[in-house]
Amino acid sequence: SVDVTVLDKLTYAGTQVNLAEHEGDPRFTFVLGDVAEVDTVLPLVEQADHVVHAAAESFVDRSIEDSRAFVVSNVLGTQVVLEACRETGTPMTFVSTDEVYGANTAEGLFDEGDPFRPRSPYAASKAGADLLCHAYVVTYGTHVATVRGTNTFGPRQHPEKAIPRFVLAALAEHPLPVYGRGEQRREWLYVRDFVRAIATVMESGEPGGAYNIGGGHELTNLDLARQVCAFV
C-alpha cells in the first residue's frame, strides 16, 4: 500500500474531476497549490519518501505566446522542489521531455548524452530544469533521476494536445489541423506505459541518471490524422 499526495495548481489544463475516482480513498490526498511556492512545497516534501516532479506548463504554442509562465512554473518551480529535496534528503524523479534535444536530424534515436537544442520556450524551460537537476546532484549530492519521455497520450488529456484535438475535430466532421505538409514526425507513448517507466526509475534509477522513455510508435502528423479519421 502506498500513500499518494498530489500537488496541483489546477490551471486551465487541469481539473479535480480527473481525480474523482480517488476521492474518499484514505491513501490519497489532494493539495491545491503552486509548485513555485516554498511554503507550500517544503511541508509536503518533508512528509514524503519520494517526490515525482511532473508539474509543468507544457503546451508549446502557449510558450511562444507567453514564455514567462513557463519559466516560473518549469524552472523556478523545479528549483523550489529541488531545494526542498536537498534540505530533507528526499529522493526525486524529475519528469523532463525529449523536446530538450530539439529536432532529430540524424538517423536513429536520441541518446541520453546528446546535446540540448531546444526549439521553443517550453523546451528551453524544461532543458533549464533538467540542467538544474544535474547541478543539484553534482553540487549537493541530491538524489535526482530524470526521465525524458516522448509525446504522451491517454485518457482525460487536455483537448489542446494533438491526439484529442484530432479526435474531437474528426467527431465533429471538421478539418483536422495539420500544419504544412504534415511531415513532422513524433513518437507516441501511452500514459500508462510512461507511468510504469517512471515507477521503474523511482525504484532503481541512479542519482544523476537520465532515462529516455519512448513508446516505439513513430508517425508523421499526417499519418496520425489519417489513422484518427480511419478509426473515428
* Catalytic option among 8, 57, 83, 98: 98
Decide if 99 is catalytic.
yes
**169 within 8 A of 98, measured Cβ to Cβ:** no
**Strand, helix or coil at 101?**
helix
Angle at CA of residue 181, ends 180 and 183, nearest 5°: 110
- How far is residue 174 CA from its own chain's centroid? 29
Q: Under 8 Å CB-to-CB from 114, ≥6 apart: which residues?
A: 101
Q: Under 8 Å CB-to-CB from 113, ≥6 apart: which residues?
A: none
* Catalytic option among 101, 122, 136, 211: 122
Find the distance separating the first CA and the last CA of the chain, reported in whole Å.
39
Decide if 98 is catalytic.
yes
Ramachandran angles phi, psi of 108, nearest 5°: 100, -170
Alpha-carbon distance values, 119 to 79, 100, 166 (Å): 22, 8, 23
Q: What is the dihedral of CA 179, 183, 187, 191, to 10 degrees?
A: 30
* Catalytic option among 99, 101, 136, 211: 99
Q: Is the CA virtual torsion 165, 168, 170, 175 positive or negative?
A: negative
User: Which residues belong to the active site?
Assistant: 98-99, 122
